[in-house]
Structure 1
Amino acid sequence: MARTVALARWWWTFIVRGVLAILFGVLAFFAPGLGAAVLVGLFAAWVIIDGIGNIIAGVRGRGRDRAWWLEILEGVVGLAAGLIALIFPVYAAGVLVLLIAIWAIVTGVLEVIAAIRLRELISGEVWMGLAGVASILFGVILIAFPAAGALSLVWLISSFAIVFGIFLILLGSRLRGIHELARRGAAPWISPHGGNNQVQAVSE
C-alpha cells in the first residue's frame, strides 16, 4: 500500500509528460512546412524535458517505487536522443525517422516492463502499458516504411505524440485520484487479481 501511495505522489509528472507530448504533436501537425530542422528541434526539446522529468521521478522514487530504475533508464534514453538531435541537427535531420523510431521502441519496451512491474500496485497501469505498446508499434511502422512521404511521416509522428500524451494524462489522472484519497486518510487497495477496489485507511 505504501508503494502505491508513494507512486501516486508523482501523478503530476505523468500529466506534465502527457501535456508536453500533445503540445509537440499539435505543433508538428499544424506546422509541417517549417522544415526538418524545426521538427528536429521540437522533438529534441520534447524528449529532453521528458527525459529529465523521468530521471527526477526515478531518483525520488528510489526505494519506494519498484520501477524507479526503469524511469531513470527511460529518461537517460530520451535525454540522449534529444542531445544527439541538438548537437548534430544536420545529421539528425537526415536520420530523424530512424532516431525517433529507435527512441520510440526503447521507450515503449521500458513502459511495458514498468507497467507489468506495477500491475500489483495500481489499476491504472493499463494506460502505461497501452502507451508502451503504442510507442513500440509506432517505432516499428517508422522502420518498416522509412521512405513514406515527408508529410505522411509528420502526421504519423504527430498522431503518435498526441495518443501517447493522452495515455500518460489518463494514467496521471488515475494516480491523482489515489493521491487525493491518501491525503484524506484512505487510499484504494488494488487487488493483483482484479475485482472491485476497496478503501482502507492509510496511516500517516
Structure 2
Amino acid sequence: MTDPNAKDGEILDETTMRSRDALSDNLASLWWTFLLRGVLAAVVGIAALFWPTGSISLLLRLVGFLLILDGGLTLVGFGRRGVIGGAGIVAALIGLVLLIWPEGAARLAFFLLGAWALVMGIGSMMALSQMHAQDPERMIV
C-alpha cells in the first residue's frame, strides 16, 4: 500500500490541480451563461411540447436562435480554442442556417431520417438472410 502523502502516490499532480482550479474559477464567473442557456432551452422545450403543430418554422427559428446564442456564449467563455471552441462555431453556424432557411433545414433533416430508415431496413433484411437456418429465434419469412 502506498503512502498518500508521498509524491508518487498522488493521482493528480500540482499542475493538473492548478489547471482544474482555473477552469472552475472561469466557469464560476460565467454562471449567468448557463442560466440563460437553461432558460432558453426550457422555452424551446415548452413550445415543442405544447405547440408542436403551431408552426414548425417558428420552432426551427427558436432552435436556431438558441444555437446562435449557445455558440456565442461558448465562444465568449472558452474562445476559439480546441474542440469546445469548434463546437461553439458549429452551433452558431447551424443556428444561422435554421434562422435563414428553416424549411430547407427541415427538409434535409427528414431526408436524412428517411435515408437512415432505408439503410436500417435493408441492413435488417440482409441480417435475416445471414442468420442460421436452425436458429429457433428466426422468423420464417
Instruction: Give the TM-score of the pair, scaled to structure 2.
Output: 0.56
Per-residue CA deviation, residues 100-154 of structure 1 (Å, 9 max, x unaligned), is: x9xxxxxxxxxxxxxxxxxxxxxxxxxxxxxxxxxxxxxxxxx9669xxxxxxxx
| 2:47–2:59 contact (8 Å) kept in structure 1 | no
| 1:17–1:50 contact (8 Å) kept in structure 2 | yes
Match of 2:25 in 1: 5
Shift of the 15–82 alpha-carbon distance from structure 1 to 2, 3 Å rule, reads same
| Pairing 1:66-85 to 2, within 5 Å after superposition | 69-85=82-98
Gaps of 5+ in 2: 1-17, 119-141
In percent, how many aligned pairs have the same letter?
32
Match of 2:103 in 1: 90
- After superposition, the CA RMSD in angstroms is 3.0
| 2:44–2:59 contact (8 Å) kept in structure 1 | no
| Pairing 1:1-204 to 2, within 5 Å after superposition | 1=18, 2-3=21-22, 4-59=24-79, 69-96=82-109
Residue type of the alignment partner of 1:74: A
| 2:61–2:99 contact (8 Å) kept in structure 1 | yes
| 1:47–1:79 contact (8 Å) kept in structure 2 | yes
**TM-superposed deviation, 1:44:** 0.8
| 1:40–1:96 contact (8 Å) kept in structure 2 | no
Give the Cα–Cα distance (whole angstroms) in 1 for the partners of residues 97 and 48 of structure 2.
19
Gaps of 5+ in 1: 63-67, 102-142, 147-204
Give the Cα–Cα distance (whole angstroms) in 2 for the partners of residues 98 and 6 of structure 1.
41
Structure with more contact order per residue of length (Cα contacts < 8 Å, sep ≥ 6)? 1
Residue type of the alignment partner of 1:72: G
